[in-house]
Homo-oligomer: A and B are copies of this chain.
């Protein structure tokens, strides 16, 4: 029967079927990002990932994870395996490299990142990671919303987090955080790789942040940035994801404010983004301070700013900026260099008030951004200047 054949094939060719090995350490557990039924990849208590893949006819198999490539070795049964170095906790994209082609691991869930559907693995933290795990608290929802974008002439999907109380709070209206992903990612990133709904649920339940909506749309940067030949690279970069600016200002914000019970004013609207989304946040908020009063950049791809003149000189009058903007946050990890500290110093040199957060031991990766979100949102919508 065709159905059974499909399932049998899926089983035969699965990357790492369930097998028992007496040599396995009890502290080595299947990753929580594994597709059910797959024992590998496993993670041990040192944060090392144990990969095991069945590919008897391949000439070479490797793993590309956290910026390093590992060659795998094959046993007589056609299983390739390798154990990585200790990796930082949190979420990592990775690929198998089969005969020099980057493919997904059939044993792991895939996530939109690296400009494609990419394998992902969660290396568990200890209890310090409980803030992004579901707890016995009231749970909000992440709503997938279809809407028509006049500015692009296409239907789009955005994701909207609503806090648990939204269902039963009658006519109460809520402030809104617009939250962007990075280059090569999309509107799903924050709720799948980022666990933003659990972070928000837990912070709201603890009374650390006010209930708010969080809107996540695509920054229109799913495809790689490829400057056209003969064009100026800076001009090309300005075009990359540029459709997003009309989308958010002309289509998305009006749709959100007409669909949800929001407070439609600048005191109740924030925006933050990671990496390229941090750049898009600067471009959006600093050109529209009549619409936004809270700003966050998480490992923002904000390079080469002349802070005295950029965005029509918005930073030149620090006292006005500090009065207009209720809160600005810039964060990054210790293991990356996006120039965040230099930007903070430049801004502070002008008298601009900006909080600077550094995530210890993390690079340009989702744990940095989960932590940034946790640090950022408690400051939102608590003070009008």
- A interface residue numbers (CB < 8 A to B): 1-3, 5-11, 13-14, 35-37, 55-59, 64, 67, 98-104, 106-110, 112, 114-117, 134, 136, 139, 141-148, 155, 160, 167, 183-184, 191, 197-198, 201, 222-226, 259-260, 275, 301, 336-338, 363-364
Q: Give the interface centre of A108, A116, A160, A364 by most chain B CB atoms within 10 Å.
A: A116
B142 touches A57 (CB 8 A): no
**21 interchain pairs, CB-CB under 8 A:** A2-B336, A3-B338, A6-B67, A7-B115, A9-B102, A11-B224, A37-B223, A37-B224, A55-B99, A58-B99, A101-B103, A102-B106, A104-B110, A108-B117, A109-B117, A134-B148, A136-B148, A141-B143, A142-B143, A142-B144, A167-B260
6 new A-B contacts at CB < 8 Å, known A7-B114, A141-B160 = A2-B336, A10-B114, A10-B115, A11-B226, A106-B117, A117-B117
B58 touches A101 (CB 8 A): yes
Q: Chain B residue with minimal CB distance to A108?
A: B117
A143 touches B146 (CB 8 A): no
A7 to B301, CA, bound (A): 14
A136 to B147, CA, bound (A): 9
Q: Give the chain B neighbours of A1 by CB distance below 8 A.
A: 337
Q: Give the chain B neighbours of A67 by CB distance below 8 A.
A: 2, 5-6
Q: Give the interface centre of A64, A146, A197, A275 by most chain B CB atoms within 10 Å.
A: A146
Q: How far is the CB of A227 from chain B (nearest CB, A)?
A: 12
A104 touches B104 (CB 8 A): yes
Q: Chain B residue with minimal CB distance to A69?
A: B9
B2 touches A364 (CB 8 A): yes
Q: Chain B residue with minimal CB distance to A97?
A: B13
